[in-house]
Amino acid sequence: MRTVGTTNEPTIRPYIDANTQRVIFADVEGNVALFDLTRDAAKPQRFRVDFSPRVIRSGWLESTWLLGGDKALLFQSFDDPNDRKLFRFRAQVVDMWVTGDSKTALVTIDEGPLQLIPYDIRTREQLKPIRVLGVAMTNMIRMGSNNSICY
The pLDDT averaged over each successive group of 10 residues in the chain (151 residues) is 60 93 96 91 89 96 96 96 95 91 93 90 96 73 64 58
pLDDT at 136: 65
pLDDT at 139: 66
pLDDT at 133: 78
Which residue in 139, 140, 80 sits closest to 112, CA to CA?
A: 139
pLDDT at 2: 45
Report d(CA 151, CA 139) in Å as an integer: 9
pLDDT at 7: 58
Ramachandran bin of 81, using left for φ above 0, alpha for ψ from -120 to 50, beta for the remaining angles: alpha
pLDDT at 1: 37
**pTM confidence score:** 0.87
pLDDT at 149: 65
